[in-house]
Chain A
Amino acid sequence: MSETSFPFKDLMRRKFQTSIVVVSITLCVAATLLLLLFSNEIGIGISSAIEGRLTAGFSAVFSRFVLFIGILIFILGVVIVSFMSFLMMSQRTRDIGLMKAAGCPNERIRYYFRTELLLIIFLGCFLGVISGILSNFVLTNFFSISGVQPQQVSINLWFIFLVFLTFFFIGVIVGGKPISDAIKVEPSKAISPTQYHGLNRGSSFKAISKSRFAMRIALRSLQRHKSATIRIILCLTLVFTLLTVAVAGGVIADQTSKNWVERAVGSNEVLIANQEVCDQYELLLSKFYVANQSSEFNYTQESYLIPEELLSQLNQSISGISIDPRLITEANITEVPGIAIDQNTGQPNYVGSNREGTSLVIGVEPGKVLNDWFTDGEFLQAGQQWKAVIGDSIAQEMFSEPLVESLTAFNNGFGIVGVCIDPINNGKVIYVPLENLQKAAHVPEINNVTQVNMVLIKIDLPVNYEETLNQIRTLVNETYPQFGVLELNALLNKSLGFLDQMWSTIMFLPAFSLVAAAICLVGYVMLSINEQRQELGILRAVGATPRTIIKIISAQSFIVLLSCYAIGIIAGISIVWLILVPELLITGSAMAEIIGLLLIVFATVFVFALYPAIKFSKRCVLEMMS
């Protein structure tokens, strides 16, 4: 066989082993590329906040998730590439030993196996890039069809080339080590697995001797190929951490973020306002999930103000409701720097500058507010004057440390007491006391007019929601037909549906890595079977049933999986808890969903790993022993 043809022929003759290495590398590269390309297109890229949709607070949570998942997928990719290279070379140690024993020079052996490594890594990375681009294309189109319009971002070829090069070099460098190690092993040791795997050392772990037969062999085998065991444990631990962050984090963050939206928009609430204000309010809320531009709108027109009679009729004729009158308008606002005390020097420092911008300003009566925003700081209290709570996006765009700063609107100063997460107008909103806004905005005082342009009404359960809603509609239509009733539940559901879709996308992103990890586990099981093949054959010859063989092999997979599962889940939950989502909301159903999903993943990977065991157990005894 010529020097150049050996690596090709060798790889072709080991089709199955070659395929699983190539497929796992392909999946790792594809997963990383897909994550980077697709997250960029849906606007929650690792470094970029979403444009036009979501608020800064939501965007930050999504981006933190994508960043963490990105880091984990990348590390996992490196570990898998390293593991598969190691696996490939571990299975060749004996061949290398035989080649050395037969007199083949080390350099030639190195050349053969390095060429194999280069071919496999190149093929895996190349197919990974192609698969990543295709998956991105498919996913983008799928989301376009299902209603979420991804941004049209042109694919950066240099960026793709960078991903290719990164994985290629990591694969070559990491995969080269086992080759060097295998070449350094003395031929006698390389030929004898007993020596190479340290079987003559006996077990120092006494508990193993007391365990059941299948478990005893499984535990000793794990100890026997310690290096591969450590690598697969590291790899699967990362996988389960990644999955926990994606699944548990996704479910928790989904519920938490939906709770934020629900608290901000309000459930079972309706808005009564002039029909044009209703339409405008709907547009402002829809900015959370559709990139909309609103045109100029004069909120304080006289015709938009709510007649006092309407409010009193609502109060008198409909029971089981709470009323929250509001004045909504738009204003130019200016940041007013504040003073913060330096923690180290104790010296006062000016914080902020004089940034200007436009924001929605909503006047509320603090004692009557129906909503309960997720707020950093506090919301407006009854009796508080010239104070403001600002939305998360305006806080991020215009303020350095909002809680020590203040703002001016309509030439009046407002001290900032809180930052709330609010989907309306994408978080570009400011809440101030109603009385102060009426004065500052010079809302005309007209007889029998309330000086508010919208009223939020909460239908307090357990009254019949539909019946009460109909009563409100009838009352408004009969008395003031130019006013409309906007049901907020529908808008809330759209926002929640959008969040659901975003989280589902994020939870889908690690799917490739999961498949790659499952292939790794299959590879590990195959290595394990390969090493024990003869012994398992002996067991069969002496009277073990095929089921006993499956038990032994599956016990190994189970031990590995369970240990990784436990560590991965603890690490994943800790990341979600400590870093990713502030003020977590974990409900019973969320817990059940998380446990269910993670158990399904565990079971799927376990069943997947059983395949080589079942296949092997069906072989005839002599074939096993040969």
Chain B
Amino acid sequence: MNWSLWLVLRLAGLATGISVAIGLCLAFILTTRKPHFQGAPFPAQFKALLSAPVLFYWMGSGGRGGAGFWPFTEAGLVVAGVISAGPLFLGAARSAFAGLDPNYGQAARGLGASEWQVFSRIHLPLAFRPILIGAASVFLGLLAELAIVWWCTGRMFA
């Protein structure tokens, strides 16, 4: 694989986009099915557990002395990025929704809105700014991690 700044940006952008899409879907489920998920662990807790193996995969499989248990492809890197960054974004989205005034959701439900309408037309626009900040943090984090991988695989082991 030929590493370049464009590749790093593309991989980070793709992984962020997929993380945001999956994270918002999960946040919707966690927001609307609150009683069932009240005891669920905070997703960001997984981040520390996942980071090390993901980085190991990135470096180990791609480097000269790596195990290479998964072909070192763009898709593989995006999947790894989503596994690494997804929980972080989900945590940010969940916090953003939890910080909203519950009165707005109640008012919308009282007016006959479905859970999806409450989420898409009330919760999402109201939490847009913190979600955007969460997505930007995830993108920058991935960029930094991929830059390390690029540096390690492209220069150190070249």
Partners in one complex: no
Chain A interface residues (CB < 8 Å from chain B): none
